[in-house]
Each structure stands twice: as structure tokens, then as C-alpha cells.
Amino acid sequence: MAENKKNELWEWTKALLIAVLLAAVIRYFLFAPIVVDGLSMMPTLHDQDRMIVNKLSYKIGEPERFDIIVFHAPENKDYIKRVIGLPGDRIEYKNDTLYVNGKAFEEPYLEEYKKEVIDGPLTDPFTLEEKIGTATVPEGHLFVMGDNRRFSKDSRHIGTVPFEKVLGQTNIIYWPIKDFRTID
């Protein structure tokens, strides 16, 4: 009888250890939770939204324009921003319109905010050279911006983001439950 109890305890201990190890591997290598801190991605993301970071996404693929990424920022904090410029891109804003390599791009995720702004453009005009000192996004780097353009600390202030600082892509809000959705 005592031997049965010992075996059962050992089986439960093994199961628990395997579960903890599996959870650690998943969190460290595949997916991790993150909390949106601040208003820099409004209206797309709200302060205190909880999201899943897909750490595998850029181990098997490359970032694409308009992806929402999580990266280690210079002040030892993780930021959530949108990819605007890829390596080699020339980025410019004029008349509240994004130009990449001279071609105008629509940003549908900003339409809501653009309608509300009455005292000038949502995104002040700039060229990449004015912001980071080079005409194009450097190789191995991304130019990122928050959707709340007037109140976002992004590549216009901290410079481009090296690929090795990118944790992964995020596009699933899981909390609050009423806001559960995926984001394009």
C-alpha cells in the first residue's frame, strides 16, 4: 500500500515537472504575454490590453510593413510599435501621408484618428534623414511608429530598431475578454 502511494506521488511529481518545463519552453521560445503600457498605439491598442507575442514569427520569417512588433527599447523597456520602414526604405511624411520610396501608402488604422484631428496633421511632416541622419533605413533595422502619432515615442525619437532587439510579432488581444480579437 505504501509503495502504491509512493508511485502515485512520483507520477504526479513527474507530471508537474514536465508541465512546468513545457510552460517554460513555450514562454521562452514560442509565445509570451505582454501588457500594453500607455497610449502610444491608440486607437488600435489600449492601455492595459493584454496580448500574446509570437516569438517564433521572425525566426522563420521576416517582419513586414505594418506588422505590430514588440522590441527591447533603449531604456530597458519593451515597446509595442508598428513597422513602417524596412531595410533600404526611404521614409517620408507629407500632408499626413506616408511615402515609402516615393510611393504613397494608405494607413487605414489611422483613419479614425485623422477624422478627429482639427488642429493640423496627425503625423507631422518629416524625412528619414531629418530623424535618423540617413536617407534609408539601415540594413538589419526597422523604422517603427506608434499609431497615436502625436504621443508616441518611436523611431522618430529613439532611432531605428535592430532586428536582434525584436522579440516578435503581436496581433492577438486576449484581455479584457470583451476586447478579444486579432489585429491586422
Catalytic residue list: 40, 81
Query: Half-sphere exposure of 11 toward its Cβ, with a 13 Å CA cutoff?
Result: 6
* Amino acid at site 27: R
Of the candidates 152, 130, 31, 182, the residue with the CA atom closest to the CA atom of residue 82: 152
- Could you give the C-alpha distances from 84 to 32, 42, 46, 90, 122, in angstroms and in order? 23, 16, 20, 10, 15
Q: Bin 144: left if φ > 0, else alpha if -120 < ψ < 50, else beta.
A: beta
Looking up cell 532611432 gives: 159
By DSSP bridging, strand 141-145 and strand 161-162 are antiparallel
Neighbours of 152 (CB within 10 A): 22
Three cell numbers, residue 181: 480579437
The answer, yes or no, to whether the previous bond of 33 is cis (omega within 30 of 0) is no
